[in-house]
């Protein structure tokens, strides 16, 4: 199972119901504190239920909603690539479609509600029967289902399996099911088995945070393999094997000690009776000490925690990837989602390029999704438009957040530089050139846009350097002057343009294009 969309409501800055579409690689861009990481952390709460990086508390409730008496957080995830079949009660194998647990578009939508940021209540939003006789069959016990069979005179080939009985009842009312979208509670009564079964198929979600500890004393930094040992030893099958070994060794030690005491007793019974073996229990054994010397070291055995911050983060990031794959291999799920905040942090541009190529390749793997946040214009330029989601404030209410998919046709000028300008306010000569070229190459009624743009604009002095070495003062618009200065850096007769001037020129060109 993989994510098709995520919906948030009343979670931090997301007051109104906000739905975000996901692709195999989804990257959230926007200014600081706008709500990019909020989406990744909401997913950590949804999938890992407080056992991951993030725990839910009352501070996560949207402040305005709370003041208005609405204190229920909603995190909903819509999935595709669903299991072909599953067992939701006893040993009855069935399908999500047969149980009317899919949306109209044949996806699975799981809604988690957190009243007052407390314990989750789980629902499936699906197109489900609303006929009073057969609207809540999934929560009924087998005796209740049989009662319906008898009361409605419905034939059923196997009255020992709930899935078969439900199908018989629904088939009986096939012309009068009254299918409507509704939420089915899967945390009460017999509905609990549905959720327990579905949880096994949820993708493994692993979050790598931007502010992940990166100091010398952090245990994971000192050596990720030591932390991996602890994690591996906690796995159920490994713990069982360790217990079996401990029990076997304990039995052998008990035999040896008893035999030794018997021999002592032959010579000195009083001494033998004062002695007893001291064998620690399984829970007291420190299994991780057996692997205390495992490590990853570099040149001249320099430990990881003494390397540069960029190297430490790069090693941790790939340890995170390896651990996520290992966790996924221990589940029935074949879905794996890597969520990484600001992968560019502490990385040289060359490393950013390698890292982004690796993440893009990773996202192209079957049953894998990669979710990123970034403040790097370089990272954005490695992406396609359908990989990018812009998080920003609503124009009519700046306390609310919206998330937009980026389509080239939506932009005043279809360029990744435009996204960087909108998201980060980044001003570059490259973007200025792109806008100018766009104006120059477009016409209306035979008139170039650049001529329309210049018409009526204030001009400034520009000193042109002629081929014979002399100079000539000309009148140019600010945009033209900056264009000339970008393309003729050898001309030192003009004051360099300022950050304010190039920003103003870019904004003027964008405004003109948007009016077109």
Largest CA distance in the chain: 119
Lookup result for tokens 């008496």: 69
What pLDDT, on a 0 to 100 scale, did the predictor assign at position 119? 92
- Mean pLDDT score, 271-286: 80
Sign of the CA dihedral with 283 first, then 284, 290, and 294 last: positive
Residue closest to 353 by CA, chosen among 378, 320, 322: 378
Contact 320, 359 (CB under 8 A): no
d(CA 357, CA 342): 15
d(CA 381, CA 416): 6
pLDDT band with cut points at 50, 70 and 90 for residue 217: very low
Alpha-carbon distance values, 107 to 42, 78, 121, 210 (Å): 20, 7, 20, 32
d(CA 41, CA 43): 5
Domain borders along the chain are: 2-24+34-208, 429-515
How deeply is 385 buried, as exposed, middle or buried, from its count of CB atoms within 10 A (0-12, 13-18, 19+)? middle
pLDDT digits (tens, 9 = 90+) for 20-57: 999 999 999 998 889 999 999 999 999 999 888 899 99
Would the pLDDT of 418 be above 80? yes
Residue closest to 376 by CA, chosen among 431, 416, 433: 416
d(CA 71, CA 58): 9
Would the pLDDT of 204 be above 90? no
Lookup result for tokens 């999938």: 47
**pLDDT above 90 coverage of the chain, percent:** 48
pLDDT digits (tens, 9 = 90+) for 76-107: 999 999 999 988 876 678 899 999 999 999 99
How deeply is 341 buried, as exposed, middle or buried, from its count of CB atoms within 10 A (0-12, 13-18, 19+)? buried
């Amino acid at each position: 199972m993989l994510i098709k969309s995520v919906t948030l409501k009343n979670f931090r800055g997301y007051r109104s119901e906000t739905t975000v579409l996901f692709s195999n690689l989804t990257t959230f861009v926007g200014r600081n504190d706008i709500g990019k990481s909020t989406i990744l952390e909401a997913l950590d709460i949804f999938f890992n239920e407080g056992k991951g990086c993030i725990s839910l508390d009352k501070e996560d409730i949207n402040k305005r909603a709370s003041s208005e008496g609405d204190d229920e957080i909603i995190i909903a995830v819509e999935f595709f690539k669903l299991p072909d079949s599953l067992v939701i009660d006893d040993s009855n194998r069935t399908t999500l479609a047969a149980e009317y647990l899919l949306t109209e578009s044949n996806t699975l939508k799981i809604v988690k509600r957190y009243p007052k940021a407390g314990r989750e209540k789980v629902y499936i939003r699906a197109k489900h029967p609303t006929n009073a006789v057969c609207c809540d069959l999934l929560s009924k016990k087998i005796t209740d289902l049989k009662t319906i069979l008898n009361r409605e005179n419905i034939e059923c080939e196997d009255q020992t399996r709930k899935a078969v009985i439900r199908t018989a009842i629904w088939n009986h009312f096939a012309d009068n099911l009254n299918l409507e979208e509704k939420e089915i509670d899967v945390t009460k009564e017999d509905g609990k088995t549905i959720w327990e079964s579905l949880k096994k198929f949820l993708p493994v979600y692993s979050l790598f945070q931007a502010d992940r500890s990166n100091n010398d004393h952090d245990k994971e930094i000192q050596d990720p393999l030591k932390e991996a040992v602890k994690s591996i030893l906690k796995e159920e099958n490994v713990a069982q094997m360790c217990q079996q070994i401990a029990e076997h060794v304990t039995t052998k030690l008990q035999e040896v000690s008893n035999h030794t005491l018997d021999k002592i007793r032959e010579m000195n019974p009083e001494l033998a009776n004062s002695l007893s073996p001291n064998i620690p229990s399984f829970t007291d054994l420190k299994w991780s000490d057996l692997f205390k010397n495992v490590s990853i070291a570099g040149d001249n055995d320099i430990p990881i925690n003494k390397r540069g911050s960029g190297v430490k983060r790069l090693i941790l990031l790939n340890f995170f990837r390896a651990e996520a794959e290992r966790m996924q291999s221990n589940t029935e799920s074949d879905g794996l989602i890597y969520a990484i905040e600001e992968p560019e942090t502490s990385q040289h541009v060359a490393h950013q390029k390698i890292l982004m190529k690796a993440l893009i390749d990773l996202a192209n793997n079957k049953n894998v999704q990669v979710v990123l946040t970034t403040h790097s214009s370089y990272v954005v330029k490695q992406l396609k438009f359908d990989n990018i989601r812009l998080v920003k404030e609503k124009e009519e209410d700046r306390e609310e957040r919206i998330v937009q998919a980026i389509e080239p046709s939506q932009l005043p000028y279809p360029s990744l530089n435009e996204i960087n300008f909108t998201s980060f306010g980044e001003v570059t000569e490259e973007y200025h050139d792109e806008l100018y070229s766009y104006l120059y190459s477009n016409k209306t009624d035979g008139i170039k846009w650049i001529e329309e743009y210049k018409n009526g604009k204030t001009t400034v002095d520009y000193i042109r350097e002629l081929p014979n070495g002399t100079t000539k003062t000309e009148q140019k618009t600010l945009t033209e002057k900056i264009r000339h200065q970008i393309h003729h850096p050898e001309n030192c007769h003009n004051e360099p343009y300022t950050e304010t001037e190039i920003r103003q020129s870019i904004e003027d060109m964008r405004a003109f294009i948007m009016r077109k």
